[in-house]
Amino acid sequence: MAEKVADTKETKSAVGSGEGHQDAFREGILQMFRPAVEELDSKALSVSQVELREQIDKLAQDLHRLSELQEFPIDLEPYVKKLMNSRRRVMLVNNILQNAQERLGRLHQSVTRETARRKALLEPSEFS
């Protein structure tokens, strides 16, 4: 009976350390892929913002051409101005988001380095 209790404790201990290794493995995989995912996310954001800006420019040009072709011109100038104002605001928000994303990336790297440094200080050395 005492052997079963001892075996159970050893098994639970081994399972617990196995879970710790799995967590460390998962965290390692996440750390390995995180920069690539963040870079792809950043590029996708940049591309979508450029495409939005191009579409706004194209729409403004189309509206301007349309107003020139009308026999009885409709005053589309206020709408073109609104579009250009929206374009400017989109660009400003995009710049703010990019700056914030860069800051968060640097902060994340700093936190990761500090966490690793502290973890190394707290864990007993294998050679001790």
Residue with tokens 């990336």: 105
Inform me whether the pLDDT recorded for 18 exceeds 70: no
Question: Are 80 and 35 contacting, i.e. CB atoms less than 8 angstroms apart?
Answer: no
d(CA 46, CA 90): 12
d(CA 117, CA 97): 30
d(CA 37, CA 40): 5
Please report the pLDDT score of residue 127 as a whole number: 58
What 3-state class would DSSP assign to 75?
coil
User: Which residues does 101 contact at the CB level (< 8 Å), separation at least 6?
Assistant: 42, 45
Number of H helices, E strands in the chain: 2, 0
Please report the pLDDT score of residue 14 as a whole number: 46
Please report the pLDDT score of residue 128 as a whole number: 53
pLDDT band at 42 (very low <50, low <70, confident <90, very high): confident
User: Domain segments of the chain: what residues?
Assistant: 19-73, 74-123
d(CA 42, CA 98): 8
What Å distances lie between residue 72 and 41, 66, 75, CA to CA?
47, 11, 9
Summarised one tens digit per residue, pLDDT across range 72-120 is 767 778 888 898 898 899 889 888 988 998 899 899 999 999 998 888 8
Among residues of the chain, what percentage have pLDDT more than 90? 9
d(CA 120, CA 5): 34
